[in-house]
Amino acid sequence: MNTNRSMVRLAALWGMLFFLTNCGGVQQPLKEVLKKQTPYEKYEQALKNVKLENTALGNDWIVAGRKALQDSILVSLPFKETGYFAADKPIAVSYLVSLKRGERLVVGVEVRSMQATQVFVDLFEAPIPTSQSPVHLASGDTSNTVIDFESREDRLYLIRLQPELLRSGNYTITMTREPSLAFPVQGKDSRNISSFWGADRDAGKRRHEGIDIFAKKGTPAIAATDGYIAAVNENRLGGKVVWLQDTKRQQRLYYAHLDEQLVRPGQKVIAGDTLGLIGNTGNARTTAPHLHFGIYTFGIGAIDPLPAVRVGSPAPPNVTAPMERLGTWARTSGKKGIVRISPDKKSSPLSEILKHTPVYILGGVRDWYKVSLPDNTIGYIEAKQIENAEKPIRTQKIASLTQILDQPAASAGFLATVEPGTQLPVLASFGSFLYVKTPDGIAGWLPIS
Ligand SMILES: [Zn+2]
């Protein structure tokens, strides 16, 4: 919104930000405190130090960051989203991702902006209670904004992305899933697993506490991670077995039915080292040679090894929704549109909206848009349900001197004044607001009673 008023406001804030980033005037004791903070917290503290939190924009920035922690947009991996941030409208976006124990989440963020722009990327445990401070797990490195996080439990995580104040540009976030361990059989991967966790054994008397990977007799069974050999022995079911202590994760990796054991107890190994050769010893005598691979954790016992060794997700699909609409108001084209919680037709609907409802384009995922409705509902809608808000749907005659607003809200700022008798082209409508264009070509909001 390039009104004079907001330009003056931005200029004043720029001056304060310059001071903030160049004066280096943080006192010594405080400096010590700041060292333990995340980059995000440091920035927030710096805003407070120069009293920027008392300005509307500074306060909006802080509120946007907190609000994003309570959002509940659930996405599945792999995921890629392109979005827009405007200098005069602080935003923070967040995503919920479900991970299994042993899976790694890799988050990458690319920013395209006229000026160098810092984007804060933070990972938290989710859901986040409103009353207490969220458990923060990782921050994106500010130089390349990447998080590589390994989940030690099955749970939901929240990723928040927020650019620094007074910058505009585009961001693209990608999130992929990777295994935390190497695959335990040389030359194979998780697509070669033929028996999974929980399968029946001994006619249902017990359950399979691992995975089986068939391979030619003599194929190397390899260390899935760095560690040391905890035991090399023989038992009735497993035959010749090797136990590898995973020193990083408080768990033991179990290799069974080996034809030959090639390590000794106490020996240090690194990921990829050969521990033994695939065979069919123990209760596998009558089956083809295979490795039975198990993971036993401290305190829990056997867990499903699959999430830890499963092939990573492929590269996320590209954004095909037209991106020239980013950061603009568009409208639904069809009879009605459905705004959903995730970019997926099977996900829960958040809102059913009428034909020609204005939607603000926040971002794109595949052939979906992430949109904000005039009532601030944020969700996803299929791009094919959206058209440019260009061709008027009707005109509205103005009865008395009227202000055109910069937002569809009673608290909005004034963009323009229109004279009585003016016929305004209506581009979209939502509840008690019409999205109109003034004779000077300014698009804004007209409250109707
Ligand atoms: Zn098995």
The CATH number of the domain holding residue 198 is 2.70.70.10
pLDDT per residue over 294-303, tens digit each?
A: 999 988 899 9
Mean pLDDT, the chain, rounded, equals: 89
Instruction: Please tell me which of 18-22, 163-167, 261-265, 333-337 the model is most confident about, judged by mean pLDDT.
Output: 261-265
How many angstroms does the Cα of residue 211 sit away from the middle of ligand 1?
Answer: 5
Q: How far is the CA of 183 from the centre of ligand 1 (A)?
A: 15
Residue 372 Cα, ligand 1 centroid: separation in angstroms? 50
Q: From 114, 143, 178, give the residue that closes a domain.
A: 178
Determine the structural domain holding residue 141 and report its residue range: 4-178
Mean pLDDT of 356-384: 94
Q: How far is the CA of 152 from the centre of ligand 1 (A)?
A: 23
Of 58-72, 171-185, 234-248, 381-395, the least confident: 58-72
Cα 197 to ligand 1 centre (Å): 8
Q: Give me the pLDDT at residue 28, please.
A: 46
Shared domain for 69 and 167, answered yes or no, is: yes
Stretch 149-153: mean pLDDT: 95
Q: Is residue 318 part of a domain?
A: no
**Do residue 289 and residue 153 come from a single domain?**
no
What is the Å distance from ligand 1's center to 32 Cα? 53
Q: Do 94 and 232 sit in the same domain of this protein?
A: no
The CA 245 to ligand 1 mean position distance, Å, reads 19
> Could you tell me if 267 and 352 lie in one domain?
no
Domain boundary among 178, 213, 239: 178
Distance CA(161)–CA(172), nearest Å, equals 10
185 falls within a domain: no
Q: Are residues 162 and 55 in the same domain?
A: yes
Q: Are residues 401 and 383 in the same domain?
A: no
Tell me which of 222 and 19 has the higher pLDDT: 222
CB atoms within 10 A of CB 5: 12
Tens-digit pLDDT profile for residues 13-36: 555 554 444 444 444 455 555 557
At residue 407 the predicted structure's pLDDT band, cuts being 50, 70 and 90, is: confident
Q: How far is the CA of 137 from the centre of ligand 1 (A)?
A: 35
Q: How far is the CA of 63 from the centre of ligand 1 (A)?
A: 52
Ligand 1 centroid from CA 230, angstroms: 20
Among 11-20, 30-39, 410-419, name the most confident range: 410-419
Q: Is the confidence at residue 142, as pLDDT, over 70? A: no
> What CATH code is carried by the domain that includes residue 145?
2.60.120.380
CA 74 to chain centre: 9
Residue keyed to tokens 């794109």: 364
Going from the Cα of 293 to the center of ligand 1, the distance in angstroms, rounded, reads 7
Residue 377 belongs to a domain: yes
| List of residues 6+ apart from 43 with CB closer than 8 A | 118, 120, 164
| Ligand 1 center from residue 181 Cα (angstroms) | 18
Ligand 1 centroid – CA 180 distance (Å): 21
- For ligand 1, the distance from its centroid to the CA atom of residue 194, given in whole angstroms, is 9
What contacts 24+ positions apart, CB below 8 Å, involve 345-354?
345/382, 347/74, 347/380, 350/377, 350/379, 351/377, 351/379, 353/430
DSSP single-letter state for residue 89: B
What pLDDT shows up at residue 23? 42
137 and 8 in a common domain: yes
pLDDT of residue 113: 83
Check residue 304 and give its pLDDT: 95
In a domain, 12, yes or no: yes
227: which 2 tokens?
A: 């560690």
Q: Are 406 and 423 within one domain?
A: yes
Confidence of residue 448 (pLDDT cuts 50, 70, 90): confident
Residue 314 inside a domain? The answer is no
Q: Total structural domains in the chain?
A: 4
Say which residue the tokens 């090797």 belong to: 242
144 C-alpha vs ligand 1 centroid, how far in Å? 42
Domain termination site, one of 364, 388, 412: 388
Establish if 29 belongs to a structural domain: yes
- Tell which residue, 138, 80, 72, has the closest CA to residue 313: 80
CA of 294 relative to ligand 1 center, distance in Å: 8
Q: What angle do CA 74, 75, 76 make, to 5 degrees?
A: 130
Cα 324 from chain centroid? Answer: 23
Rounded CA separation 99/74 (Å)? 12
Residues 152, 14 within the same domain = yes
- For helices 39-49 and 4-22, what crossing angle results, to 10°? 110
Q: Is 316 inside any structural domain?
A: no
For 47, the enclosing helix (H) or strand (E) is: helix 39-49
CATH, residue 360: 2.30.30.40
Same domain, 150 and 39: yes
| Beta bridge partner(s), residue 394 | 426
What spacing in Å lies between the alpha carbon of 258 and ligand 1's midpoint?
Answer: 12
Ligand 1: distance of its center to the CA of 238 in Å? 8
pLDDT band at 205 (very low <50, low <70, confident <90, very high): confident
Q: Kindly state whether residues 377 and 400 are assigned to the same domain.
A: no
Of the candidates 145, 210, 153, 202, the residue with the CA atom closest to the CA atom of residue 174: 145
Would residue 234 count as lying in a domain? Answer: yes
Cα dihedral 404, 417, 54, 90, rounded to 10, equals: 40
The confidence score (pLDDT) of residue 71 equals 80
**Do 236 and 218 sit in the same domain of this protein?**
yes
